[in-house]
């Protein structure tokens, strides 16, 4: 039986029912976006009683399909005002799926108390936990594991979410108990905070216990898929060796690394904050250059970076190294790690925090390149000062508060680590994805820079619309499976990739899906999301990049972003 848990924070009632027929074949982003469209009024206040927060493991989560442990979280976003799905690795997706839980929905509102939802094999119970209010995610996760079970997975928010800060994320822990696997983007932590829910404890000792209809067939497909991943240079070599931050030198070399709040595309200090350097220092200090964010991941692109103060920051992703490094004119990995750690602990999206600090440096609130000032400012988030709240409100709001015109954000969400002018395929994705600027929604770095899945010149507009469209559709489908998006590197270059994913789904659920069905699923997800956003008041005016990308040339390629009306064609199917 597939279970569907509803928690009403207004009444404090938990109900565990069967999954509605309509949602049985959905998982991950396919489920969260369909559900939000179905049940959240599009114009409702994102921090109000009518918003609903949904947690859903991907379709393949809880099986031994390699790298399939992504947990999707959905709601109306307080940052963008549109629909949001944000997914994370960590252990809880596998645990929830292994418990036969299709989704947990949190509805209603609680303004005063702090609560924990404890999920066990046959129960789900709401427990008052005012003693845990205000705790950072690291301490909180350790406390809850100690209190309930060392093998429990903990989904939680930090003080940022409790204070309903607009770029607060929701985290869950990795196998070592680090609370650092974030559904970071779009402020879903603030939604959880508005409901008075501090954490969900998932007690389940088995990560691979989800029901599989044809186990033998599944095993063959999963093994084949693991080989496909291991055979590709990115998923089999680059990522396992240096993690995502292997991109730092590559993107810098490509001249599309956003430096000093998107002022230029190359950074002298790039190598100092690169994956290569990170691996060197991490190993030297007894950390890990490679690490799996959830059991069963063969790419192991995470890391564990010991900081000078003895604490360990795990992981430092490329986008985080970028936003706290080149974006702020900072080339000190220890500063980057510290900023990253503060975000993880207080419960804040790193990308948004980095974009926002860049905007504040542009405004002259603190100087570019000043790591100490950045650390001091970011520490104010947890203190809830006025400046701390501005930082946690995200780049667009901070830009408005300080009257800044150069604000790298779309639909209220900060633009990540690839300048749209010299990686135009990503620019198309930033502009048009219903999620607000998001590199993962249609990662055109593949064909633009890495020459994976073909090549499209990153500095020219030709081919970018089609590239982004295809990637957005494929990504939406991948986000439904619970597979890590990084499998796409291999899938795009291996014609057996996608059929093998379909084969795993068919073996697990006793279906006979085709590749066309998967494409249709991706399109359906995007259509649902666009329908919600249209109801919320979004128009094509929201599907554009900020003015300065159209006006200012980016060095070294002297490129502007020039796509406008063509953008309206991207998500027409």
- Least separation in angstroms between CB 551 and a second copy: 8
- Least separation in angstroms between CB 441 and a second copy: 20
Q: Which is nearer to a second copy, 14 or 387 (CB)?
A: 387
- Least separation in angstroms between CB 398 and a second copy: 9
- Least separation in angstroms between CB 109 and a second copy: 9
Q: Which is nearer to a second copy, 310 or 403 (CB)?
A: 403
| Token code pair at residue 395 | 């780049």
Q: Which is nearer to a second copy, 148 or 548 (CB)?
A: 548
Mapping DSSP to helix (H, G, I), strand (E, B) and coil, where does residue 468 land?
Answer: helix
Q: Which is nearer to a second copy, 250 or 398 (CB)?
A: 398
> For 347, left (φ over 0), alpha (ψ -120 to 50), or beta?
left
Place of tokens 């220890």: 334
Spatial CA neighbour of 450 closest among 494, 497, 496, 490: 490
Q: Which long-range contacts (CB under 8 A, 24 or more apart) does 371-379 make?
A: 371/328, 371/330, 371/332, 371/335, 371/338, 372/335, 374/324, 374/328, 374/330, 374/335, 374/339, 375/335, 375/338, 375/339, 375/342, 378/339, 378/342, 378/343, 378/353, 379/342
Q: What is the spatial distance between Cα 519 and Cα 515, in angstroms, rounded to a whole number?
A: 6
User: DSSP string spanning 408-456?
Assistant: -EETTEE--SS-TTSSHHHHHHHHH-TTSS-GGGS-THIIIII--SS--
Residues binding a second copy (CB under 8 A) = 42-45, 47-50, 78, 163-166, 190, 193-194, 385-387, 389-390, 393, 397, 400-403, 405, 535-542, 544, 546-548, 551
Regarding beta strands 302-306 and 53-57, do their DSSP bridges make them parallel or antiparallel, or are they unpaired?
Answer: unpaired
- Which residues contact residue 81 at a Cβ distance below 8 angstroms, ignoring those fewer than 6 apart? 46, 411, 412, 536, 537, 538
Q: Which is nearer to a second copy, 174 or 362 (CB)?
A: 362
Q: Which is nearer to a second copy, 81 or 287 (CB)?
A: 81
| Token code pair at residue 191 | 């939604």
Q: What is the spatial distance between Cα 182 and Cα 138, in angstroms, rounded to a whole number?
A: 13
- Least separation in angstroms between CB 543 and a second copy: 9
- Residues pairing with 197 in the sheet: 115
- Least separation in angstroms between CB 400 and a second copy: 6
Q: Report CA-CA distances (Å) from 468 to 90, 423, 430, 458, 494.
A: 28, 11, 10, 12, 19
- Least separation in angstroms between CB 33 and a second copy: 19
Q: Which is nearer to a second copy, 51 or 303 (CB)?
A: 51
- Least separation in angstroms between CB 405 and a second copy: 5
Q: Report CA-CA distances (Å) from 466 to 117, 428, 463, 473, 568.
A: 44, 10, 6, 11, 12
Place of tokens 């509803």: 6
Q: Which is nearer to a second copy, 163 or 343 (CB)?
A: 163
- Least separation in angstroms between CB 425 and a second copy: 22
- Least separation in angstroms between CB 505 and a second copy: 37
Regarding beta strands 115-120 and 123-128, do their DSSP bridges make them parallel or antiparallel, or are they unpaired?
Answer: antiparallel
- Residue 367: count of CB within 10 angstroms of its CB: 11
- Least separation in angstroms between CB 561 and a second copy: 14
Mapping DSSP to helix (H, G, I), strand (E, B) and coil, where does residue 389 land?
Answer: helix
Q: Which is nearer to a second copy, 12 or 400 (CB)?
A: 400
- Least separation in angstroms between CB 432 and a second copy: 14
Q: Which is nearer to a second copy, 82 or 275 (CB)?
A: 82
Residue 337 backbone phi and psi in degrees, to 5: -60, -40
Mapping DSSP to helix (H, G, I), strand (E, B) and coil, where does residue 332 land?
Answer: coil
- Which residues contact residue 78 at a Cβ distance below 8 angstroms, ignoring those fewer than 6 apart? 46, 47, 164, 166, 186, 187, 190, 191
Residue 395 sits at the vertex; the CA angle it makes with 482 and 89, to the nearest 5 degrees, is: 15
Q: Which is nearer to a second copy, 405 or 514 (CB)?
A: 405
Write down how long the chain is: 573
Q: Which is nearer to a second copy, 90 or 161 (CB)?
A: 161
């Amino acid at each position: 039986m597939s279970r569907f848990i509803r928690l009403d924070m207004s009444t404090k009632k938990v109900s565990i029912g069967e999954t509605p027929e309509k949602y049985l074949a959905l998982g991950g982003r396919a489920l969260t976006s369909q559900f939000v469209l179905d049940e959240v009024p599009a114009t409702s206040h994102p921090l109000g009683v009518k918003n609903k927060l949904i947690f859903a493991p991907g379709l393949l989560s809880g099986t031994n399909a390699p790298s399939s442990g992504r947990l999707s979280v959905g709601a109306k976003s307080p940052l963008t005002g549109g629909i949001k799905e944000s997914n994370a690795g960590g252990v809880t997706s596998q645990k929830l799926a292994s418990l036969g839980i299709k989704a947990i929905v949190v509805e209603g509102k609680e303004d005063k108390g702090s609560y924990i939802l404890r999920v066990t094999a046959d129960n789900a119970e709401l427990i008052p936990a005012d003693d845990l209010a205000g705790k950072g995610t690291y301490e909180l996760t350790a406390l809850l594991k100690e209190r309930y079970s060392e093998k429990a997975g903990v989904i939680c928010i930090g003080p940022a979410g409790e204070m309903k800060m607009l770029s607060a994320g929701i985290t869950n822990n990795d196998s070592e108990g680090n609370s650092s696997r974030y559904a970071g983007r779009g402020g879903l932590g603030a939604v959880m905070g508005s409901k008075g829910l501090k954490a969900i404890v998932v007690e389940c000792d088995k990560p691979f216990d989800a029901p599989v209809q044809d186990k033998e067939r599944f095993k063959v497909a999963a093994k084949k898929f693991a080989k496909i991943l291991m055979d590709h240079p990115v998923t089999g070599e680059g990522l396992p060796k240096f993690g995502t931050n292997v991109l730092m030198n590559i993107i810098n070399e490509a001249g599309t690394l956003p430096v000093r709040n998107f002022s230029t595309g190359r950074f002298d200090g790039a190598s100092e904050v690169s994956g290569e350097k990170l691996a060197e220092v991490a190993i030297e200090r007894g950390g890990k250059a490679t690490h799996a964010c959830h059991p069963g991941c063969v790419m192991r692109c995470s890391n564990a970076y010991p900081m000078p103060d003895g604490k360990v920051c795990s992981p430092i992703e490329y986008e985080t190294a970028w936003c706290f490094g080149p974006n702020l004119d900072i080339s000190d990995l220890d500063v980057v790690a510290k900023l990253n750690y503060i975000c993880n602990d207080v419960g804040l999206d790193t990308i948004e925090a980095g974009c926002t600090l860049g905007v504040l440096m542009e405004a002259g609130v603190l100087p570019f390149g000043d790591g100490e000032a950045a650390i001091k400012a970011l520490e104010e988030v947890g203190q809830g000062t006025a400046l701390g709240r501005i930082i946690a409100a995200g780049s667009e709001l901070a830009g408005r508060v300080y009257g800044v015109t150069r604000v790298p954000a779309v639909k209220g969400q900060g633009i990540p680590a690839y300048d749209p002018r010299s990686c135009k395929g990503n620019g198309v994705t930033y502009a048009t994805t219903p999620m607000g600027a998001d590199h993962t929604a249609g990662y055109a770095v593949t064909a633009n820079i890495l020459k994976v899945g073909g090549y499209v010149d990153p500095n020219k507009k030709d081919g970018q619309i089609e590239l982004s469209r295809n990637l957005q559709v494929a990504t939406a489908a991948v986000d439904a499976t619970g597979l890590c998006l990084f499998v796409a590197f291999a899938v795009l270059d291996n014609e057996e990739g996608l059929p093998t994913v379909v084969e795993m789904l068919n073996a697990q659920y006793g279906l006979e899906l085709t590749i066309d069905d998967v494409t249709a699923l991706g399109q359906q997800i995007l259509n649902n999301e666009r329908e919600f956003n249209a109801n919320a008041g979004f128009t094509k005016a929201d599907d554009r990049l900020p003015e300065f990308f159209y006006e200012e040339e980016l060095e070294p390629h002297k490129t502007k972003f020039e796509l406008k009306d063509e953008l309206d064609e991207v998500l027409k199917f």
